Structure 1
Amino acid sequence: MTDTPLIAILDDEPEIRRLLSAALEDAGFRTQSFARATEFEAALRRITPDACLIDLGLPDRDGLALVHRLATESGAAIIIISGRAQVQDRVTGLELGADDYIIKPFEPAEVVARIRARLRRPAQTPRGSSSTVRFAGWTADFDRYLLIAPDGRETPLSHAEAEVLRMFTDNPRRLITRSQMLETLGGAAGDSFDRAMDVRISRLRTKLGEDPKNPRLIKTIYGAGYIFLAETG
């Protein structure tokens, strides 16, 4: 057993797999690489990666469908690496549950930095915090990446959704600005970060059964940020 984070790399280009593996292993990570989605999915039965680097242009599977499955079934951080540079592709990837989106060609050092940023801020259990938080009849289990409704129904949380919910439950009834989100969650400032936050908060509201026109728990303060209105325990 080891505490060294495991990074799964899924890309059908051998040179990219070699490049990423070398950079990540030099940075102290463990890696496993896969050329096809079927190989990767079979491996998930025996390995639990801390982060997954996913190419969208796979020969045997729709990359976006795989991202969505990982976001709903896995606690791993998901980073898309793709040659698709259109804004809509990035937005769709984030909406389906990716934590980040890197466009090819890329610098290996940038990928390493993005992964470190994601894993440096895990959703589960900061020091002095509980792994489960209760609010307004709901329970968030950050170790298992689950949102448990008042009636006991369980809904999976993606890594990205859990990060945002953890930020809110750690700061109830306080205004959280965009700059504070950036500092807490990491990333690059700009429209892409703002859009990613909007998408994740929208997904959280849906899972919490919120009325999008009049949310009770996650309130938007236009021009300022967000407030999580529930008491936590």
Structure 2
Amino acid sequence: MSALISILDDEPAIRDILSDALQEAGYRTMTFARATEFEAALRKTTPDLCLVDLGLPDRDGLSLVHRLALEQGATVIIISARAQTQDKITGLELGADDYIIKPFDPAEVVARIRARLRGPKRQASSQTARFEGWTAHFDRFTLEDAEGVETAFSQAEGEVLRLFLESPKRLITRAFMQETLGGQAGDSFDRAMDVRISRLRTKLREDPKNPRLIKTIYGAGYIFLGDVSWS
């Protein structure tokens, strides 16, 4: 069965454009004008990806993105007319996987969705990784420390963490991250990776000035230095 995309935007024309483009590309779609309708549908159906506008009439779009990403581990792409760099950074920090500015090319939206859906589930059979006193539970999007205290991470953060844990003690270049995780190369992608890695370091209680596990190799990429076992 084809992937299901939920579209939340209060503009009927935008919903129609996105829905038509996605259905033509072979996806199933559900469309919503209000956050309350969208959230009610989520209790019955789990979409593969959510397209969310920030300017909603009944909810703050950013808080909705944060809940979707952090509590439900959903794959989320923001589509918004807010073009300021700070808006993009905030959206990515709250857990969005990508940020598309209106007006947009429907073909580009389809391409970005295809890239997002291609990346995250490449090795979904392995759901638990243990490393340096931590356990990453990818089935419920949490990090568990040695005392059993759990900290949630988003789908986007989980993609990056899985990438590191699948290739410990090997250089992960920016080009490899872009190819594996999807998205367009450039400043926007680089900033998104910086944000996610910074948030992962915080959750792993790393010293930001001298991280022990996720090391930056300036001009080359990153390397994860822990020993990892999967189950």
> Structure 2-normalised TM-score?
0.94
RMSD: 1.4
1:147 and 1:109 map into 2 onto residues whose CA distance is 36
Alignment correspondent of 1:69: 67
Match of 1:162 among 143, 148, 158: 158
Contact 1:125 1:143 in 2 (8 A): no
Task: Note the C-alpha offset of 1:123.
Answer: 4.4
Matched with 1:184 is 180
From 205, 208, 211, the counterpart of 2:204: 208
SS in 2 for 1:68: helix
Is the CA contact (8 Å cut-off) linking 1:124 and 1:131 kept in structure 2? no
Give secondary structure in 1 for the equivalent of 2:228: coil
CA contact (8 A) 2:77 2:98 kept: yes
Deviation of 1:124 (Å): 6.2
Question: 1:9, 1:32 within 8 Å by CA — same for their partners in 2?
Answer: yes
- 1:30-49 correspondence to structure 2 within 5 Å: 30-49=28-47
Corresponding position of 2:170: 174
Structure 1 unaligned residues grouped into runs of 5+: none
1:16 counterpart = 2:11? no
Cα deviation 1:159-179 (Å, max 9, x = unaligned): 110110111011101111111
User: Could you list the runs of 5+ residues in structure 2 that have no partner in the other structure?
Assistant: none
CA-CA distance at 1:125 after TM superposition: 2.4
Structure-1-length-normalised TM-score: 0.94
Aligned partner of residue 41 in structure 1, secondary structure: helix
Give 3-state SS (helix, strand or coil) of 1:215's partner. coil
Q: Which amino acid aligns with 1:130?
A: S
Of 99, 113, 116, the residue aligned with 1:115 is: 113
- Give the whole-Å Cα distance in 2 for the aligned partners of 1:30 and 1:155: 33
Match of 1:84 in 2: 82
The one of 139, 142, 161 aligned to 1:143: 139
Identity of aligned residues (%): 73
2:129 touches 2:136 (CA, 8 Å); kept in 1? yes
Residues 25 and 110 in structure 2, CA contact (< 8 A), matched pair in contact too? yes
In the alignment, structure 1 residue 217 sits paired with structure 2 residue 213: yes
Letter of the structure 2 residue corresponding to residue 106 of structure 1? F
Post-superposition CA distance 1:92-149 (Å, at most 9, x none): 11111110011111111111111110010124625xx622111112111223222222
